[in-house]
Each structure stands twice: as C-alpha cells, then as structure tokens.
Amino acid sequence: MRRNSFDIRPLAGAIGAEIAGVDLARALDDDLVAALRRAWLDHLVLFFRDQDLPPERFLTLARRFGDPIEYPFLRGLDGFAEITPVVKLEHERVNFGGLWHTDTAYLDIPPMGTMLVAREVPPYGGDTLFANMYLAYESLSPGLRRLLDGLVAVNSSAKADVTKTREDRLRDAARADTKQEYVAEHPVVRTHPETRRKALYVNGGHTTRFKDMTEQESAPLLDFLFAHLMRPEFTCRFRWQPGSLAFWDNRCAQHNPVNDYHGFRRVMHRITLRGDRPR
C-alpha cells in the first residue's frame, strides 16, 4: 500500500504498520505529516527503520505531531527534558514498564501518543508487543459492553507491579519534584477524539479498581479484562534495531516490552505527546 510517496506495510492483521520511504530526520512538509497521521490513526502504531535521530532532531520530529511533555518520575536528557531514557543495564533483571499498559494513565490528562527510538539493543530479545484496544472492546458481548460503558476506573502510579519496573531508574534519575503517587479516574471505555471509535481503557499496570467499588470487588472483572486485552489476535510484535522508531496512539493501543534479554544492555529514548482528558 502506498500513500503520499511512502509505503505502508501492515505488520499484523490487528495493529501496526511499517513505513518505508520516509526520512524522519528531514523537514516534513504539512502534506506528509497529514498522510502519516492518517496512517497512524488507521494502524494505531507506526514503525520506521534506520532513522538518524539525535536528540535535537528527535524532539523536532515529535513537535510536528504534538506537544512533547515531561515524564513525571524521571529526569530527561540533559538539555532535552522531554526525552526520557528507557534503559535496562546488563546486571538488571527487571525492565522499565515491563507489563501491558497504557502510558501514564494515572495522569488526569494522559498522553495522546508516544515516540520511542532505539539507541542500543540486545543481540536478541527485547521486542515490544502492541495490542489494539478497539478490537478488545468490540469483541466483548453486547451485555458486557453496556456494563463497561457506565463504569469509571481508578488508576494509580503506585500499583505494585509497575512501581517495581521503575525502581532501578528512580535510584539514579528521579525527578526532585515528583509526587509519591498520581491518581486519576477515567472511563473504562473511552471514545477516541479523532476516530470516534470506542476503546477499552483499563490496564494491568495502573488500573486498581472501579470507582465506588473496592479492589476486591473489582478484581474479578478487571482480571478478566486484563487477560482479554492481550489475546494474540489483537496484537503485533516488533523487533528493534538501532535507529528503529515506533510511534503509537496511547488512546487506543497498549504495549508490553518483553523482558527476555538478561545480561545485555538496552537503551531507548522516549517522548510522550500531550493528550486530552479521556471521555
């Protein structure tokens, strides 16, 4: 498939496409940005190979698609506060963000999207999985969809599993102004502001319970949803190389970096783009 002089190569039936024929380090004209954005909305996550994006160029690229924001827990690169290093070192056993999640759903206004570029990758392993939350919602029974449409989820940055994935980086790069915990309430099913499609918006990394319910009361349904959303037919898998970039829609896609490369170093740089309040 071609669009505006670049190739779109779907990676899986549910989500994801590789884009060929675009040099993201060059100035992108408005027509190209608009065409890439349409492809992004269609496929939820776009992948690019062999991109030369040092921090300044990376930030310039991100600004063509949105407003970069700082991550609330870790310091960014020197001189580039909006670029967060995502690192696992050779001696570490737990990776950053290593579970299915939507980025920073514990914020009142979570990011619209995320760009992640690979700097150093292990010789094998370290892939990232992505899942389509439109399909996760649409495949549920009509009765369960009606129930979920009326529920609100409580999301916390202090949920135990996701806190553990931050520990190594907080020891050496914590922000001085970060809070101990961020909590936000969002609809369990959100309507995408651009496509108007409904997407499941709970995740195992941050969602603790339903509003007006206890964690114990919420657990059976949340556990079902967490297992449901990672069904293989909703997903794709991306293998990184140095210079690879992924750009995903945080409003309708979840991701999970696979932690299968102990003994090797993996270094990525991440930018998140300002979003809107889920509705």
pLDDT tens sequence across 120-129 = 999 999 999 9
- To the query of whether residue 270 is one of the catalytic residues in this protein, the response is yes
Q: What is the pLDDT of residue 160?
A: 60
Choice among 119, 169, 192, 270 that is catalytic: 270
pLDDT score, position 175: 55
* Residue of 157, 178, 162, 169 lying closest to 85 (CA atoms): 169
Residue 101 among the catalytic residues = yes
- The confidence score (pLDDT) of residue 125 equals 97
The confidence score (pLDDT) of residue 161 equals 61
pLDDT at 5: 79
Q: How many whole angstroms separate alpha carbon 110 and alpha carbon 201?
A: 11
Position 203 scores a pLDDT of 97
pLDDT at 74: 81
Distance of CA 140 to the CA centre of its chain: 23
Would you state the pLDDT for residue 174?
Answer: 62
Domain range annotation of the chain = 2-273
Catalytic residue (one of 169, 206, 255, 266): 255
Output the pLDDT for position 73.
77
Q: Which CATH architecture has domain 2-273?
A: 4-Layer Sandwich (3.60)
Which of 103, 119, 169, 186 does the annotation list as catalytic? 103
Q: Which one from 101, 190, 266, 269 is the annotated catalytic residue?
A: 101
Tokens of 24: 């993201």
**Is 169 known to be catalytic?**
no
pLDDT of residue 134: 98
Whether 262 is catalytic: no
Residues of the chain with pLDDT under 50: none
